[in-house]
Structure 1
Amino acid sequence: MTVAQTIEAKLRQGLAPESLTVIDESHRHVGHAGHRPGGESHFRVEIVSAQFAGKSRVERQRMIHALLAEELTGPIHALSLSTQTPDEKIP
């Protein structure tokens, strides 16, 4: 399983998102710290989940970081997050 697939599986299981997009942006960071040949180091996640309701931006990020704790200590060097509830979702 790739890192992107692991991220998607863990977030789907932990947050039951209405929508989830995991984008490997490693190619944009060639020559920067944490970049590895073959990518799978820098990711952007766009997620819409009802479980974010009533939570601040920081609380939402902490929820995701808790689910991805193992990956954040290893293969993930950078993680950019866009977190929304279904009510906040931009059409």
Structure 2
Amino acid sequence: MKLPPSFHFRKLRKNPLWFNILTLAVIIVEFTSIFFVQNPYYLSGSQFTMTIFASAYGIKEWRTNTVISIIMFTLALLFVYVSLQTLAITWR
């Protein structure tokens, strides 16, 4: 008996391959920058990268699913705030 694919797998199949590769690359860069880098400028840069990714995904989902789009735009604003706070701590 074959099990139906989960929601995440169906969502992954809907996206183009280049978007899935970009998603994986951004997630890897973000997590390695957060956990292994001590320089605040690199941390801020990785958070801006997540801002760009969340905004791009929000724009992509705007026509099909506005709830996910609004959540991604909210996350993008949160990433901008955290990034600016990281830089503000550095400038003191």
Same fold? TM cut 0.5: no
Larger radius of gyration: 2
TM-score normalised by structure 1 residue count: 0.31
More strand by share: 1
Higher relative contact order (CA 8 A, sep 6+): 1
More helix by share: 2
